[in-house]
Amino acid sequence: MSRRGPDRPGFEIAFLESVLKRDDTFPEAMEMLAGLYTKEGRIEDGLALDRRLVSLDPQNATHHYNLACSLALKGYKTEAVETLRRAIGLGYTDFAWLTKDPDLKPLRGFPPYVELLDEFNIVR
């Protein structure tokens, strides 16, 4: 007989939200929670956390990349491309993932995104 565990995403979200109530500047918790929000379709909540992470650590390339993903999912294509450009400028180099990341799917075929890929010689 198998026992069902707690709803994992719901449990993890509740746990991370409680962590952030105690320390609202805990970047690892914010990053994990933003990812969970996105997976659960709470794009606006994930976007808010990604913006906060960038404001807390503006030199972090991964935070900029994650923000670009949230922006793309919300349909803010121009801002997403500008944010990707910042991420690359700050050292983001996982171009193989960038070209297949489902969060960036809304940008595929968008001329500024295509230009960005060409500018940095990123193979599609």
| Domains (range + CATH), the chain | 8-119 (1.25.40.10)
Checking phi first, is residue 55 left (phi over 0); if not, alpha (psi -120 to 50) or beta? alpha
pLDDT at 58: 98
Q: Which two three-digit tokens encode residue 8? A: 């994992």
- In tens, the pLDDT along 46-98 reads 999 999 999 999 999 999 999 999 999 999 999 999 999 999 999 999 999 99
Helix 27-39 vs helix 43-56: angle between axes, to the nearest 10 degrees?
A: 160
Binning pLDDT at 50, 70 and 90, where does residue 116 land? very high
Instruction: Give the separation between CA 40 and CA 8, rounded to whole angstroms.
Output: 11
Model confidence, pTM: 0.90
The structure tokens 């295509």 sit at: 114
Residue type at 102?
P
Confidence of residue 3 (pLDDT cuts 50, 70, 90): very low
